[in-house]
Amino acid sequence: MADGTKRPARKIPEATVARLPLYLRSLLEVAGDATPTISSERLAELSGVNAAKVRKDLSYLGSYGTRGVGYDVEYLLFQMSRELGLTKDWHVVIAGVGNLGHALANYAGFSDRGFPVAALVDADPRVVGTDINGITIRHIDELDAIAAEHHIDIGIIATPASVAQDVADRLIAAGVSSILNFAPTIVTVPPEVSLRKVDLAVELQILSFYQQRKGTDAHAPVASAVVPPPR
């Protein structure tokens, strides 16, 4: 490993970063195939993106393709995994073991892709002490102790919205600097902490918007039924 690889010092656009995992997934699908290379066109097809966009995205990682041939699947997989930081496991703690937290704790896709669940925490004394998938749920007050035992990289918030901010603060206090928030509320974090959010109901509402526009004028809303603006 005596520095044969290039320095990835370039700043990669956010939109590109969001697509890298898609490429990775597609590459894994063709990893065992007969042909050891893949063209940008085929990779685009598998990932559901434009071919030009694929080439541009990959060029941010470096010139890893061969003109006239394509990209070597194995080599590209390696480079992309390295860029995404997937050469090591990232330990996850799930806060809140309700319906969603329970499902996430059982979800095999996390460990499979390098994100093993290291700990589960909750505030409800009725679930603290019980096991999920071989992991004992501990009380959220023990977060600092847990962080001292295992190194925790990522915190997942699967609590009710009302306590999401408090849980986020506790996670940060315990040294977690990447958070994925499933609670339907805004959580504010200091700038050095990465935060992403997923709101399931919001996704449905967006679908609802476009669905309504589709079936427009089928039974158009009567304008007179609309309440007048307040004074």
Q: Rounded to 5 degrees, what are φ and ψ at 88? A: -125, 165
Structure tokens at 118: 């290291």
Taken as a whole, the chain contains a residue count of 231
State yes or no: residue 18 binds a copy of itself (CB under 8 A).
Answer: yes
State yes or no: residue 135 binds a copy of itself (CB under 8 A).
Answer: no
Q: Residue 3 to residues 8, 78, 85, 162, 188: CA-CA distances in angstroms?
A: 12, 15, 18, 49, 40
Task: Choose the stretch contacting a copy of itself; rule: CB under 8 A; options: 50-58, 123-131, 164-172, 178-186.
Answer: 178-186
The single-letter DSSP state of residue 230 is P
> Which partner from the list DNA, a copy of itself, none does 106 bind, CB cut-off 5 to 8 Å by kind?
a copy of itself
Helix or strand (DSSP H, E) at 178:
strand 178-181
> Quick check: 6 and 17 in contact, CB under 8 A?
no
d(CA 217, CA 115) in angstroms, rounded, equals 48
d(CA 20, CA 83) in angstroms, rounded, equals 9
Residue count, binding to DNA (CB under 7 A): 27
Binding mask 63-102 for DNA (x = CB under 7 A): xxxxxxxxx-------------------------------
Q: Which CB atom, from 3 or from 14, has the smaller least distance to DNA?
A: 14
Q: Which CB atom, from 56 or from 150, has the smaller least distance to DNA?
A: 56
State yes or no: residue 21 binds a copy of itself (CB under 8 A).
Answer: yes
State yes or no: residue 210 binds a copy of itself (CB under 8 A).
Answer: yes
Q: Choose which of 6, 31, 33, 52 interacts with DNA (CB under 7 A).
A: 52
Positions touching DNA (CB under 7 A) are 13-16, 38-41, 49-53, 55-56, 58-59, 63-71, 231
